[in-house]
Structure 1
């Protein structure tokens, strides 16, 4: 397992099912320009898939160090976004839900 895969799995381990009740969302992750993952959140469940997902409503683009920092809590996602280390493509408001769905 790569460090990016470890970070995505760590994120899934923090999943808050009660915050996802009634939701049907797909979050895409594009890491280091060539690694793709998606988190599929559906009615209180979370599934991780490797590869690009055309159904992603928002895709978060960052490098692996930024991902590791956000997942570990060392980096604030909003600060990463404001400093240009994190970019959101698609519905940016959905990106804001990630902190509820995956609390630190």
Structure 2
């Protein structure tokens, strides 16, 4: 597992108050994947209701609050595959 994924898992768990109602996967290009579910965030590459893909730089900016997830999606920096409602719910949990 890459340092980027390890740091992102820790940051996501610190941001979330508990788990997430559903399953989501963040795919960080050239680094790995993070699963988010009712137990919180962890490294993994399981099936999910929604998958979101971004570069490490974009993902870090979203986590740091420097990049709005919706704006990242609208400008093509973040791609979403699957349940858009789950993606929007996750954006709300992370902000």
Alignment TM class, shorter chain as reference: 0.7 to 0.9
1:15 matched to 2:11: no
Distance 2:93 2:83 in 1: 16
Aligned to 2:82: 90
Equivalent of 1:51, from 44, 55, 60? Answer: 44
Distance 2:84 2:5 in 1: 22
CA-based RMSD of the aligned residues comes to 2.0
Structure possessing the higher radius of gyration over alpha carbons = 1
Higher strand residue share: 1
Match of 1:60, SS state, is: strand
Aligned length: 94
Q: Structure 1 residues 33, 92: CA separation in 2 closer, same or farther (over 3 Å shift)?
A: farther
Aligned to 1:62: 54
